[in-house]
Structure 1
Amino acid sequence: MTSRDTAHRDGPPRVGLFGLLGGGNIGNDGSMEAVLAHLRAERPDAVLDCFCSGPEQVTARYGVPATPMQQWASYRLERRGPAAAVLKGVGKVVDAGRTLAWVRRHDAVVVPGAGVLEATLPVRPWGFPYALFLLCLSGRLVGTRVALLDVGAEVIDSPATRLLVRTAARLAHHRSFRDAHSRRVMGDMGVDTSGDEVGADLTFALPPVARPPEEPTGIVGVGLMAWSGGSGDRRRAGEIHDAYLAAMTEFVGRLVDEGRRVRLLGGDAVDDAVAARLLDAVRAARSGHAPLSVEADPVRSLDDLERAMHDVDVVVATRYHNVVAALRLGKPVLALSYAPKTDAVMAEMGLAGFCHPARFPDADRLAAQFAELESRRAELGGVVAARAAVVVARLRRQLSGLCGELLGERPPAAPVVGSAA
């Protein structure tokens, strides 16, 4: 070990968590929550804090001190003009210094999961990719160990984003991936991943908030997403979203016409408007009929989502962490996939045949896949529950090993006063 590696021996180890945390993505927050819970159990002596996109929310919800990732976040991309461009440029320079100063105060920094090495949803290179690059570069400059823990990666078309992401991955002291596809992608991008472990989505390590009922309830859970394509689809974003919403509206309408109970499941706050539009369209097409048996409750956390899912029989979902939440509960899932990460987790859980493209979905084929999924509900639920248990055990071993790698052995407990020598 270097002198920096052993610095925490003079006091409690300082561990930072870094990422798009507290900013409304409940999947990212769930990954952070899993790491926090493990650190608090395994290393209660550690001093924890965050460098993130939503510091106020992180502190309020998890009781962890937090610092904003971008001091100049008020100058958003939609602001135009020379003055705004100058201020944003200055902000990037200021953020470099702030990141270096924050990293220097820590013995280790963990990036807890999420798709930090991908751009499947629209992302600008000077946003999070730049922030991740600054983090990993700062770690190398000051000797703080930076761990990219069970992160997702995907092929990136933008040369600037690809360069920042690849360089950040190379600079990290520890890398592990949530699936084999992510490790393969980073290898293809020129990162030596031969010694990198494949784990799983970190939210699998969280305990379920409610035990699912043993008897079927007849409720179908439908998770919607404000889906309009990826970074390369900006010109067709409206067309992609309209096709997705039309297919999902048709699918839910068929369930309603069959007399089924439907529960619309939120994902992130931006998805609420999609659920509202779908519900309005279904109601308008059936005005004058009996009240619709469709529920739509807002979701603001992974706990909220799992409580909404706990008594549904099957789930049809788009957003990745809706799919993962259902799998954690042992639910058979039909996934509208917008990225290979969804295909990967569905295959690992034994549901490879129940993926459907989120890009221009087909309502007839979706209905046929749903009918097969529902007819095999008991069988597939057992497969999912068994495979999820294997993933949980693997994650617990991985997290314990990471604590030792980053922080060394846990110090012995202090002797109880008055105990025998």
Structure 2
Amino acid sequence: MTSGDGTPVRVGVFGLLGSGNLGNDGSLEAVLGYLRAAHPEAVVDALCGGPEVVTARYRIPATRLHWYRGEYRTASRAGTVAAKGLGKLVDAVRTAAWVRRHDVVIVPGMGVLEATLPLRPWGFPYALFLLCASGRLFGTRVALVSVGAAAIGNRPTRALVRWSARLAAYRSYRDAPSRDAMRAMGVDTSRDEVYPDLAFSLPTLPTLPAGGPGSPSVPPGPPGPVCVGVMAFHGGDDDRARAGEIHRRYLDGTIRFVRALAEEGRPVRLLTGDEVDGPVVAAILDAVDSPLVTAAETASLADLMKEMAAADTVVAVRYHNLICALKVGTPTLALSYAAKSDALMAQMGLAAYCHPAREVDADRLLEQFRSLERRSAELRRTLTERNLTAARRVGDQFTALTSALFPAADHTHTHTHDLREAP
């Protein structure tokens, strides 16, 4: 695939990639798989949070997203504040120069248009605005692909997110509530589409057939392992005043739930989705002194799927932990902290199995867990069907992306998707 002058098309990928969040890296992996299959001649590089990790793992050149390496640490001293301020100016120049070198920039998935977790406007929202504004200035097509969005209360953050979306050449969302949220924030979404999360295009490990554990047609054996995905959860951006209380309630409820499973003789595997989740695992292991409770080491969504495919049931908080469990067909209960989790569970036929992460009630959680396990065989069949639909829709997303961003290469596709005309 070449540009009009015969040179290979230059494609950039952008985001907090390689920074320890397995979900973000899974979205990158999905887009790189698409590019290598559909546009193998494209020259690809990244502007990202962890360039060393991205280069080593995905074999593409990568540049650090922020000039100031302490961007996401709290600044208290005058020198640190000054360095951060200088970094904003330097980043504007660096981002513009990077964007100008590309024909297309893709922001792969991720919740880049939301603040469901604590977020400062001058951090990633500012970086995303620089990207989209630079794209508009230099004629580089910037695509926000199957991204997450949510209503934002903080005015500066909301303004940066709104203008980033308006300036992007292409937008699609990973669920309908995301598109609704952007419409409510003043973005014209009449030509924006909804597709499943990009992770649904990743390879899936072999899973148990629909007549597996819990099926009436198979003699029941001893209860199998339960995967419990944990998170350093402190509420969202609007919960900063209650962050400590929210975290204590979430952790106490999770500890009680894990302890109850261990006392029933159930093996429990603790899983994370980000490097910051480690202290939560340590706290649970310290509080529940049982050889049945162990922690898994996972470095990718493939690692998570391997663990979850071997489990009878999964209980998880992080969005991409939920996706991994659902994708391998394991009955799943969501500790939900945002509308995106509820929408995902409804999409996959498990809307009844959501529990609020802010108000974890261990007794109620155990009731839902037991109900989920009683319906295990039925839900495995449902997940098999829903996964086929999700994979097909992500294929539609990639076809649409080719039509929108690489029109010169799109001679055979019939599914078209026009570029958005930003206000």
Task: For 2:12 and 2:146, locate their aligned partners in 1 and report how far apart those are by CA, in whole Å.
Answer: 16
Tell me the C-alpha RMSD between the 2 structures: 1.5
State how far apart, in whole Å, the 2-side matches of 1:168 and 1:411 are: 27
Q: What SS does structure 2 have at the residue aligned with 1:123?
A: coil
TM-score of the aligned structures, taking structure 1 as reference length: 0.92
State the Cα distance separating 1:113 from its structure 2 match. 0.5
* 2:270 matches 1:275: no
Alignment partner, residue 331 of structure 2: 332
Give 1:236's aligned residue: 242
1:219 is matched with which residue? 225
Corresponding letter in the other structure for 1:197: E
Alpha-carbon deviation of 1:402?
A: 0.7
Match of 2:80 in 1: 84
- CA distance in 1 between counterparts of 2:227 and 2:194 reads 30
Return the letter of the residue paired with 1:11: T
With over 3 angstroms needed to count, the CA separation of the structure-2 counterparts of 1:386 and 1:131, relative to structure 1, is: same
1:321-372 CA-partner distances (Å, limit 9, x unpaired): 1101101111111000000000000000001110000002111110000000
d(CA) in 1 for partners of 2:196, 2:85? 37
Does 1:355 find its partner at 2:351? no
Superposition TM-score, scaled by structure 2 size: 0.92
Deviation (angstroms), 1:411: 8.7
Instruction: Confirm or deny that 1:256 pairs with 2:262.
Output: yes
Q: Which letter does structure 2 place at the counterpart of 1:205?
A: S
Deviation at 1:304, TM superposition (A): 1.5
Question: Secondary structure in 1 aligned to 2:352?
Answer: helix
2:256 corresponds to which letter in structure 1?
Answer: E
Q: Deviations over 1:54-84 (max 9, x none)?
A: 1110000000100111111235542323322
Are 2:177 and 2:340, in contact at CA under 8 Å, matched by a contact in 1?
A: yes
Once residues 9 and 383 of structure 1 are traced to their aligned partners in structure 2, the CA distance between those partners, rounded to angstroms, is 49
Task: Report the Cα distance in structure 1 between the residues aligned to 2:228 and 2:349, rounded to whole angstroms.
Answer: 20
1:140 Cα deviation (Å)?
0.4
Report what 1:65 is aligned to.
61
Alignment deviations for residues 168-210 of structure 1 (CA, whole Å, 9 cap, x no partner): 00000000000000000000100000000001110001111x2
Match of 1:123 in 2: 119
- Give the corresponding residue for 1:40: 36
1:401 deviates by 2.3
Residue 194 of structure 2 is matched in structure 1 by: 198
Mark the runs of 5 or more structure 2 residues left unpaired by the alignment: 214-222, 412-423
**Structure 2 residue aligned with 1:20:** 16
Query: In 2, Cα distance between the equivalents of 1:197 and 1:230?
Result: 26
Helix, strand or coil for the counterpart of 1:118? coil
In the aligned structure 2, how far is the partner of 1:176 from the partner of 1:74? 31
Deviation at 1:300, TM superposition (A): 1.9
Conserved? CA contact 1:75–1:84, under 8 Å: no
SS of corresponding position for 2:41: coil
Distance change in 2, residues 1:77/1:296 (3 Å)? closer
Structure 1 pair 76–43 and aligned structure 2 pair: CA distance change class (3 A):
closer
Q: Which residue of 129, 133, 137 corresponds with 2:129? A: 133
1:8 to partner: Cα distance = 4.8
Counterpart of 1:417 in structure 2 is: none
- 5+ residue gaps, structure 1, are 1-5, 284-290, 413-421
Q: Distance in 1 between matches of 2:56 and 2:281?
A: 27
* Secondary structure at the counterpart of residue 359 of structure 1: helix
State the secondary structure of the residue aligned to 2:288.
Answer: helix
Partner of 1:51: 47
* Aligned 1:381-420 pairs, distance under 5 A: 381-410=380-409
Instruction: Find the partner of 1:265 among 263, 271, 285.
Output: 271
- Aligned pairs, how many? 399
Q: Which digits, 9 at most, give the CA deviation of each residue in 1:248-273, with x for residues without a partner? A: 11111111111112111222111122
Percent sequence identity over aligned pairs? 56
State the Cα distance separating 1:292 from its structure 2 match. 2.7
Which amino acid in the other structure matches residue 236 of structure 2?
A: G
